[in-house]
Structure 1
Amino acid sequence: MGRGRAKAKQTKVARELKYHSPNTDLTALQRELGSGSTSSDSDERDADDEDLDDDPGDRWSPRR
């Protein structure tokens, strides 16, 4: 037993999160979103994607 208190606390926390939104610092959020990724970051991700083979089955096939 002993799960009653833990469940009650979880229910209380969940209810607070559901019905009471925390204060949001919109200026900090705007600064964070405004400093998004640069084009060089996305170019690096594209280069990594090109290294992958088109056939994912080759990855698991036995080497010959």
Structure 2
Amino acid sequence: MSQNTTSHSFLDPLWRRIALVGFCAAWSLYEWTSGEAFWGTLTAGMTAYGAWSYLMNYEPSKKEE
């Protein structure tokens, strides 16, 4: 059975998902303030994808017994 690729038991606690998205956002901000538009755009995309996948659309993993 196929499982959602963004669903993993490590990411079940909300604080870990927030930390992951926050790290990507901070990295993006750093790149933009350093004048690196390409890397800033790339990491902003990672942040947007992470926010969508891990905060708005996350389904907790199904632990197999």
TM beyond 0.5: no
**Structure 1-normalised TM-score?**
0.32
Larger Rg: 1
User: Higher relative contact order at CA 8 Å, sep ≥6: structure 1 or structure 2?
Assistant: 2
**Structure 2-normalised TM-score?**
0.31
